[in-house]
Copies of this chain bind each other. A is one copy, B any other.
C-alpha cells in the first residue's frame, strides 16, 4: 500500500492551500483543540467565569449589535416569532451569562475512567474520556446558542467552530468577541471559540466536508437545516431535533392523567421538538375520552386534525389527511387518530414517528411494558408528558441538543456526549505471541 492511501484525513486538510475562512479557522481550531485537551478543570472553569463576566460587562454593546440584526430582520419582514427569538436585551444577555456560570458547576467529563481492568497477561487497560476535538455547530437565528455552545464545548475540552445565520451575524460577532477576550485573558487560545462570519451557503457546505479537521458537526435549527446537513455532510453528524411525538391513550388509561398530559404536551410551548403532534386513542375508550379531550383542546385553542372515527366524537374537528400523520406542526395543532389496539398504536408510531419522544398513558402493566420495549424512540414515557425530553429535566444541567439518531448519543446530550474515549494500556515490555 502506498502512502497515498493512508492519508484520508490529511489530504483533505492540505488541499487548496491556505484556503477559505472556514478552512483557515478549522485549522486554527484543530491546533487549539490540542491545547484544550490538556487543560485542567480549574483552568477551564476560570475561563468560563471570565466569559460570563465579559458577557455581562459587554451586555450593552451586544444589545447594540443585536439592534442592527433586528433592524435588518424587520426590514425583510421576519415573522414576530422569529424576531422574538433573535431579540437580545440586557436582561437576556445576563441570562446567557448565568447559563455560562452554570456550566462551571457541571462535572468535567474529560479524564473520567469509563472502565479499567487487568488482562490475564498483566496488561492494564483503561478506557478514558477525552474531548472530541473540533465541534462544528451550524445553527439558526437564536444568538444565545453562540454562548451556550461555546461554554459547553470549552468545558468538555473541545474547540468550537460556530456558524450562525446571517440574521444574527452582528449579535454573534459581538458575543464571540467577548468570549475571545475572556479566553485570551484566561491564557487560553483565542481560537478555542471561533465564529464563521461567512454566512454564504457555500461556507456551511465546506464545513460539512472538512473531514480530518472537524470531528463532529451538530446542526441546530429547523428540519430544513438538519436535512441539508444530514444529506451533504461527510464529517460525522449528530442529527438533532425533529420531533413527531405521540401520546397513546390506552384502553386502561386514567382519563385525568391522560387529559393533563395531552394538554401539557401540546400547549406548554408548542414550538419545540418535544411537544406532542399526534394523539392516538384506543377505540374502546373513544366514545368517552374523545369528547372530553376535544373540549379541553378546544378551550386551549388547539386545532384538531381528526381521523374518520375521531370525527364522530369531535365533529368540529378538521378531517386529517395522510400528511398530518407525518407532520411536525410546532404549532397549536394536533392530529388525532383512533386505533384498534396497542399493536396498531405501536405500528403507527414506528411508521410515522421521528423516534424522538413517545408516551403511553395506561394503568395496564403489560401494555406499559410492551410500549416501552417496542417503541424505538430516544425517549419512551409511561404516564408522563413528552416535554420532559430535555437535558435539564433529565438532570444533565445543560444540553447541546437532542439527538434523534442512534449512533454516539441518543436523546438529550449533555457534556459526556461531547466526549469520545481512548484506551490507555500499560505494560512492562508486553509483546503479543
Report A's interface with B, CB cutoff 8 A. Answer: 1-10, 34, 37-38, 117, 119, 123, 125, 127, 130, 132-133, 211, 215-216, 222-224, 226-227, 230-234, 236-239, 242, 244, 254, 256-257, 260-261, 264-265, 268, 323-324, 326-331, 350, 352, 354, 368, 372-374, 376-385, 387-389, 393-395, 405-408, 410-411, 420-432
Who on chain B is nearest to A31 by CB?
A: B350
Q: How far is the CB of A55 from chain B (nearest CB, A)?
A: 28
Q: Is B406 in contact with A257, judged by CB distance below 8 angstroms? A: no
- Chain A: interface secondary structure? mixed
Q: Is A422 in contact with B376, judged by CB distance below 8 angstroms? A: yes
Q: How far is the CB of A34 from chain B (nearest CB, A)?
A: 7
Q: Is A426 in contact with B382, judged by CB distance below 8 angstroms? A: yes
Q: Is A429 in contact with B260, judged by CB distance below 8 angstroms? A: yes
For the complex, give the distance between the alpha carbons of A233 and B209 in Å. Answer: 11
Q: Is B5 in contact with A328, judged by CB distance below 8 angstroms? A: yes
For the complex, give the distance between the alpha carbons of A268 and B352 in Å. Answer: 53
Q: How far is the CB of A273 from chain B (nearest CB, A)?
A: 10
Q: Is B236 in contact with A234, judged by CB distance below 8 angstroms? A: no
14 A-B contact pairs sorted by A residue (CB < 8 Å): A1-B328, A3-B326, A3-B327, A8-B242, A37-B374, A37-B376, A125-B394, A233-B234, A236-B405, A380-B425, A384-B426, A388-B427, A388-B430, A407-B407
Contacts of A233 in B (CB 8 A): 234
For the complex, give the distance between the alpha carbons of A30 and B132 in Å. Answer: 31
Contacts of A224 in B (CB 8 A): 5
For the complex, give the distance between the alpha carbons of A380 and B405 in Å. Answer: 29
From the candidates B244, B387, B422, name the one contacting A6 in the complex (CB within 8 A): B244
Q: A5-B328, A236-B236 are in contact. Are A383 and B133 (CB under 8 A)?
A: no
Q: Is A385 in contact with B422, judged by CB distance below 8 angstroms? A: no
For the complex, give the distance between the alpha carbons of A231 and B135 in Å. Answer: 19
Q: Is B407 in contact with A236, judged by CB distance below 8 angstroms? A: yes
Who on chain B is nearest to A233 by CB?
A: B234
Contacts of A383 in B (CB 8 A): 426-430
Q: A383-B429, A385-B431 are in contact. Are A411 and B422 (CB under 8 A)?
A: yes
